[in-house]
Amino acid sequence: MISIILICICLMSNNYKIDGRMMESISQDDDLELDNQLKLINKPPLKTIQTVFGHIVDCVDINKQLAFDNPLLKNHKIQLKPSFQHGRTTLDENQRSATLSIEEDLCPIGTIPIRRTTKDDLIRLKHLSNNNGMLIEEVEGSHFAAVNLNGADRYYGIKGNINTYNPTVASKEQMSGAYISLAKGPSQVRNRIMAGWQVYPKIQGDVQTYFFIAWENKQNQTGCYNLQCPGFVQIDKKFHIGSPITSTSTFGGQQFEMSVAILLDPTTNNWWVRLEDKNLGYFPSTIFSDMSYADEGGWYGRTMTTLGNPSPPMGSGHFPDDRFGHACFIRQMTFQNETRKDIPPEMKLVGIYKDNPSCYDVKYTGYVDKSLGYAMQFGGPGGNCGD
Ligand SMILES: *[C@@H]1O[C@H](CO)[C@@H](O)[C@H](O)[C@H]1NC(C)=O
Ligand SMILES: *[C@@H]1O[C@H](CO)[C@@H](O)[C@H](O)[C@H]1NC(C)=O
């Protein structure tokens, strides 16, 4: 199924281009092809919801979601809740949840909300899959400001409360975001999971901030953002991936955040993604060539731009200055090792990574205070940061 979609997308001829808002017409054959793909991707809804953001959300039978088109999940037994326990995240009085306002419970029992894929979505994706057919392939013009786990341990989980912003991007190909990630393997065959927020018009369709998830299995050349390919099994019946995060922070003003976690299930070895206090769903262990644990990971600010073009701002667009509420932050950072306890990332357990400090910086000194816990600040204005 993955290969079918990718091949179809790659085969589509080049007689259309997305250029700003202009779209040249596509041939009748391509149009038919797109219709066929949409039929495969969009499962028959039991109910349909029109969101205030102009998206269509389908309530799809939880057992018939796209993930189960993946041949690797042919005999998969759906896991309705994780086998680990976890505490609730406590929101600080100074921080507000960025995602609470979009919780809705409109889908019938046994169904989950899925944002319907449109023809425009597929056309945008075609451009992404040009990188070897891998939808989340590393691109040049990518810059980081990050705190990395130092790789001296085996990792089973990672968490953080990520401050949300809406940095300005100059084109559909630019991305600016903040996320947590865990990965395993040498880079040529790496397996990886990411979760956080991003502004990335090519993926999301507009310049708003979105919660996103992504996975890749480089060994098998599979992976994608969100639910664009059969991989992630969604369990939560309220939150739909692809709903914009409208509560974003302002420099020195009201701060919003999202609490995100990636946790390995000790019983099934599925990788759960949590958002606020919800278990959104999981990446089944079987879609990875080897993700029995992670050997790298961390908390990232990242931007991307096309070759030769200036990079967009990261976070709030401001450099860290030790004043939380200025530069973008991630607080209450923890990870898990084999003990499956939340471990604070002491300085000796992590490294700082920034590839161009004149564009983006990161500041991390470990524990800050009770409310922030272990917290980092990162970001900057971008500009001519190199490729
Ligand atoms: C990866 O590719 C190998 C070799 O083709 C195949 O045997 C295996 O099932 C694939 N695994 C995944 C997780 O895609
Ligand atoms: C897990 O991390 C803690 C804190 O760094 C360390 O003391 C412990 O040895 C680690 N355990 C394992 C099994 O790696």
Question: What is the Å distance from ligand 2's center to 350 Cα?
Answer: 14
pLDDT at 102 (0 to 100): 52
Nearest residue (CA) to ligand 1, atom 5: 220
Nearest residue (CA) to ligand 2, atom 13: 338
Question: What is the Å distance from ligand 2's center to 341 Cα?
Answer: 9
Task: Give me the mean pLDDT over the 201-206 stretch.
Answer: 92
Convert the pLDDT of each residue in 326-377 to its tens digit: 999 999 999 999 999 999 999 999 999 999 999 999 999 999 999 999 999 9
Convert the pLDDT of each residue in 4-41 to its tens digit: 333 333 333 333 333 333 444 678 888 898 999 999 99
User: Is a pLDDT exceeding 70 seen at residue 380?
Assistant: yes
Which atom of ligand 2 is found nearest the CA of 346? Answer: 5
Question: What is the Å distance from ligand 1's center to 221 Cα?
Answer: 9
Question: What is the Å distance from ligand 1's center to 265 Cα?
Answer: 22
Average pLDDT of the chain, as a whole number: 88
pLDDT at 266 (0 to 100): 96
334 lines ligand 2 (CB under 6 A): no
Global pTM?
0.90
Question: What is the Å distance from ligand 1's center to 118 Cα?
Answer: 30
Which amino acid type is present at position 327?
Answer: A
Which atom of ligand 2 is found nearest the CA of 337? Answer: 1
Question: What is the Å distance from ligand 2's center to 115 Cα?
Answer: 40
User: Is a pLDDT exceeding 90 seen at residue 123?
Assistant: no
29 lines ligand 2 (CB under 6 A): no
Question: What is the Å distance from ligand 2's center to 343 Cα?
Answer: 8
Task: Give me the mean pLDDT over the 44-70 stretch.
Answer: 95
pLDDT at 103 (0 to 100): 59
Nearest residue (CA) to ligand 1, atom 3: 220
Indicate the pLDDT class of residue 125, thresholds 50, 70 and 90: confident
In angstroms, rounded to a whole number, what is the distance separating the alpha carbons of residues 66 and 231? 8
pLDDT at 30 (0 to 100): 83
pLDDT at 14 (0 to 100): 32
Which of the ligands is closest to the CA of residue 289? 1
Which of the ligands is closest to the CA of residue 153? 2
Convert the pLDDT of each residue in 220-275 to its tens digit: 999 999 998 999 999 999 999 999 998 999 999 999 999 999 999 999 999 999 99
Question: What is the Å distance from ligand 1's center to 219 Cα?
Answer: 8
Which of the ligands is closest to the CA of residue 70? 1
Convert the pLDDT of each residue in 128-187 to its tens digit: 554 434 455 566 789 999 999 999 999 999 999 999 999 999 999 899 999 999 999 898
pLDDT at 124 (0 to 100): 83
With the most atoms of ligand 1 within 8 angstroms of its CB, the residue from 73, 220, 229, 269 to mutate is 220
